[in-house]
Amino acid sequence: MTLARRLAFFRQAVRRIIGAPDYEVYLAHHRRAHPDATPMTEKEFFRFAIERRYSRAGPRCC
């Protein structure tokens, strides 16, 4: 395994641990499910993911 591949794997693992969304997974899904639509940019995707995560209504502990 190359160093670049190891770093990419490590970055993905850290993002999963902290619950950050994965743009590459989103792009792969988007290509399969919506081939005729333009995907969000990386900046738009992260903004959407953060808003979706923290704007949910309902009972919360904090």
Residue 4 CB partners (closer than 8 Å, separation 6+): none
- Residue 52 has a pLDDT of 83
**What are residue 5's phi and psi, to 5 degrees?**
-70, -40
- Residue 60 has a pLDDT of 58
Domain residue limits, the chain = 21-54
Helices (H), 1-62: 3-18, 23-33, 42-54
pLDDT one-digit tens code per residue, 14-59: 888 887 788 888 999 999 999 999 999 999 998 998 888 788 766 6
- Residue 1 has a pLDDT of 82
Judged against a pLDDT cut of 60, whether residue 62 lies above it is answered with: no
Report the alpha-carbon distance of residue 38 to residue 53 in Å, rounded.
Answer: 23
Residue 14 CB partners (closer than 8 Å, separation 6+): 20
Prediction pTM value: 0.62
